[in-house]
Structure formats: structure tokens, C-alpha cells
Amino acid sequence: MTQLETSATLATVAVLSVALWLGMSAPGLGQGKPKLGDVGLPMGLVPSDAQVSVAASVCFLEGPAFDGEGNLFFSDIAGNRILKMDPQGRISVFREDSGRTNGNTFDAQGRLLSCEGAEFGSAQGRRRVVRTDLKTGQVEVLTERYEGKRYNSPNDICVDIHGRIWFTDPYYGPDRHILEMEYEAVYRIDPNGKVTRVLTQPAIQRPNGIAITPDAKTLYVVDSHPQPGGNRKIWAFQVEADGSLRGQRLVYDFGRGRGGDGLRLDMQGNLWVCAGVLRPRGPGETDEVPPGVYVISPHGQLLGRIPIPEDLITNLAFGGPERKTLYVTAGKSIYRIPVNISGYALYPPLK
């Protein structure tokens, strides 16, 4: 054996010896490597009964709405602002003080309708419905009181082909002393400005997401009550010519999990509903409904689910060319997925 061969052999032995030593003694590298999901708290360094909790919520995204220029407007309730994402994905602040805006939509004239609520800080919540002319920047208050009382926390909103505006007014905050209403309800604003309460308890417990069909003959309302025994249902109502509702029909029941939040329709009339959580929230909601967008036929058949990898998803909107991109607001993120069917929206019209 030459001196070069001897040196190479010794080097190989040394490498093998080090590898063997590492495999036997280095933590996590040997045969006894633990399954990391089963590893508990560091003994003695953290109290044995300690649990992680949220220290602060710096953003909570909601209310996406697409305009005719390819921009997505959406709310950051916790940040008390409305944001805008342009077609290139760049984010800017559209409104710095949003009055705790939650749901948004566009009317047939391309004006932005917004539900100013009361979540994540009732002191900054203006608890009203406003309309913004994007060309002039003018903000018009459509309603801020009903029968002299301030709304609870306007949540979601839609507009029909007759120009009537429909919005939900639940309250999910822990501090109920701010409430002036005894009802959590659905309201209709007619083109002449008249406001009518069209739906309340006991027909519905806590109205949230809302959508109306292109012919304005069926109104869908998400009933999402997180307390034990509360409704997690989607209801359909027949809309009469005068805007009154009748013929309440159950479309879908999410059971004991977190029910629906935001709701949109596609051009075939299917319901696209944000629902579910990764982990239970309090005693009233289980994790039986995993987070995602649930697609349900008008007659209540579950057609499928688009999983969203967040603990809490809130709302959705169709946008992009032919409205064949679905955008989903979820906690701190916005997700998108291409779809094969156009979503329904009063504005912008399909080309």
C-alpha cells in the first residue's frame, strides 16, 4: 500500500468513526429520535400547566370586494383601516381610519359600500353603513341609526339589481353594554333611503354573511352563533316585490363546528362560504368543521371544500378576468385560487 493509499484509508476510517459517534451520541440523530409532535414542554423551564395565548392581534382581514380596475379592497378590522391590493399585488392604505369597517361591496355604479362595525375596539367603531365615491372620494352616510338607536356592529352587505342594499347587524364582542338595540337583525335600505328591519330573532339568531341572487328573488343569510347550542346554519328567504321576506328555508347546517362567515354566489347560483377553524374556540365551537371555502348548491348539497391553511378564515370575493379568481381573507393573509366558473357580482359587469 502506498503512502497516499494509506492516508486515504485512514481518512475514511476517521470519517466513519465520527459519523458513528454522532449517530450514537448526538441528540436527534440516532435510532431513538423522538417524534417531534409528541415532545412535551421543557421540564422545569416552563410551568407544566402553561398554555400559549394570543398577546395581540395586529391585523384581522375581512370584507374583500373587487372593483372594475382589477383592485381588491379589503378591511383590516384590528388595524382600523381599509387596504387596497392592485393588479400587481402591491398593498396600499385606502382609508386610514375605517371606523372598524368589516364587510364591503360595490353597487352597480362602482361605489364602495362599507359596514363600519364595532369589533376590535368599539370606541373607534362608527357602527353605520357608508358609501364612497371612488372618483371624488366623497363618503356618504347611508344609515347610522334605526328608530333612533345606534346599530350593533354592521357586518356584511350586498346590493340587488333594484338598488336595494341589504346588511347584517350582529354583535360578537364581549362588551355588550354598548348596545342600544335589543335585536341582532338584517336590514334593507331602499333607493329612497328608507331603512326597514326585515329579519330578526327568533327567525335567525345572529346574522352574518349575506348574498342575494342575480334576479333578486332569493336572499341567503348565514346564521352564525358561537355559543353552545347556537345556530351554525345558512338560510334562504324568498324576496317579495316590496322587499319583504317569507318562506324561510334551511340550506345547510354546519352542526357544532364554526359555521359560516362570508358568503358569495357564482353564476350558477352555488354558495361559496367561508367556515371552520383548526382548533375549538370556547365551549360552543368544536373543530369538526375544518377551515376552508365550502361550495354548496342552492338546494343544500355540499359540492366540495377548498382547504385554507389558516385557523380562521373570514370572507371571499370573485375577481380577476371573467371573475374566475377567488380571493379569500383569512386572519393575516389573503389567498387566491383560480376557478372554472365566474362569480356573481353586481359590479363590475362581466365582459
For residue 35 the three cell numbers come to: 417524534
For residue 285 the three cell numbers come to: 365551537
For residue 97 the three cell numbers come to: 381610519
E strand or H helix that includes residue 209:
strand 207-212
* Dist CA 262 CA 221 (whole Å): 10
Question: What is the secondary structure of 215-231 as a DSSP string?
Answer: TS-EEEEEEE--STT--
Q: Is residue 14 part of a domain?
A: no
* Dist CA 263 CA 294 (whole Å): 10
Q: What is the CATH number of the domain that holds 236?
A: 2.120.10.30
* Dist CA 18 CA 22 (whole Å): 6
Q: Is residue 55 part of a domain?
A: no
Domain count, the chain: 1
Which residues are paired to 85 by β-bridges? 72, 91
Q: Is residue 110 part of a domain?
A: yes
Read off φ and ψ for residue 77, nearest 5 degrees: -65, -45
Q: pLDDT tens per residue, the chain (351 residues)? A: 544 444 444 444 444 443 434 444 455 555 667 888 889 999 999 999 998 887 887 899 999 999 989 999 999 999 999 999 999 999 999 999 999 999 999 999 999 999 999 999 888 999 999 999 999 999 999 999 999 999 999 999 999 999 999 999 999 988 889 999 999 999 999 999 999 999 999 999 999 999 999 999 999 999 999 888 999 999 999 999 999 999 999 999 999 889 999 999 999 999 999 999 988 888 888 889 999 999 999 999 999 999 999 988 999 999 999 999 999 999 899 999 999 999 999 998 887
Q: Is residue 94 part of a domain?
A: yes
Q: How far lies 138's CA from each of 32, 86, 99, 132, 254, in Å? A: 67, 21, 16, 6, 40
Q: Is residue 52 part of a domain?
A: no
For residue 326 the three cell numbers come to: 377567488
For residue 90 the three cell numbers come to: 402591491
Residue with cell 319583504: 244
* Dist CA 326 CA 318 (whole Å): 5
Q: Is residue 9 part of a domain?
A: no
Side by side, the strands of the sheet bearing 81-85 are 61-66, 72-76, 81-85, 91-95
* Dist CA 279 CA 273 (whole Å): 19
Q: Is residue 329 part of a domain?
A: yes
Residue with cell 375605517: 98
Q: Is residue 211 part of a domain?
A: yes
Range of the domain at 321: 64-338
Q: Which of 189, 88, 95, 108 is nearest to 138 (CA)?
A: 95
Sequence-distant (6+) residues with CB within 8 A of 29 are: 22, 23
Residue with cell 324576496: 239
